[in-house]
Amino acid sequence: MTVRLKKQHGVTLVELILTMVIISVALVGILAVINLTVSHSADPLVNQQAIAIAESYLEEILLQNYSGNTSTNRADFDDVDDYNNLLDNGAHDQQGTAITNLNQYTVSVSVAAPTVLAGSVNAKQITVSVSGLGVSNLSLVGYKADY
């Protein structure tokens, strides 16, 4: 007479608990990565907005004359020196009107005294800095030359 051993079907309690612990640890790791990704998903948009604001201010300033009359009204600015020490709480257009939904940014402009470049050309360094929620003092620099 042959004795047949029955094969085990199912899992033991230890195997079941070990499987649950491994799956739980893996799930916690995955959820931590998802949480980090979601919490920082808007950062590229905020940075891109700050760069666009700085670029538009710098372009506006560089399109002005090297020198001209001193003006205090933004709509009358006609040279780069007029923009020196400009401080806007919220982005503004060239007329000085606030741009909707960009009031969380602070824009500051500084124009340095002329320096001599190669070939004895005078140039003024223009620095536009933008800061706000999620953006810490992003700066763009440009030069306006006096040809």
What is the pLDDT at residue 31? 94
Mean pLDDT of 64-85: 90
CA distance from start to end of the chain: 111
Mean pLDDT of 64-73: 88
Domain count, the chain: 1
Query: Is residue 124 in a domain?
Result: yes
Whole domain around residue 112: which residue ranges?
A: 45-145
pLDDT over 70 percentage in the chain:
98
Do the strands 106-111 and 135-146 form a parallel or antiparallel pair, or are they unpaired? unpaired
What is the pLDDT at residue 52? 94
Query: Is residue 2 in a domain?
Result: no
The CA distance from 65 to 80, in Å, is 6
Do the strands 87-89 and 106-111 form a parallel or antiparallel pair, or are they unpaired? antiparallel
- Which of 29-33, 41-45, 85-89 has the weakest average pLDDT? 41-45
What is the pLDDT at residue 1? 64
Coil vs helix vs strand at 47: helix
Residues 1-40 have pLDDT tens digits of 677 777 777 888 999 999 999 999 999 999 999 998 887 7
Query: For the chain, how many helices (H) and strands (E)?
Result: 2, 5
Instruction: Specify which residues 138 forms β-bridges with.
Output: 130
Mind spelling out the 3-state secondary structure of 67-97?
CCCCCCCHHHCCEHHHHCCCEEECCECCCCC
Taking every pair of C-alpha atoms in the chain, what is the biggest distance, in angstroms?
116
Residues 128-137 have pLDDT tens digits of 999 988 888 8
Query: Is residue 17 in a domain?
Result: no
Coil vs helix vs strand at 50: helix
- Token pair belonging to 5: 């051993």
Q: What integer best gives the mean pLDDT of the chain?
A: 89
Query: Is residue 54 in a domain?
Result: yes
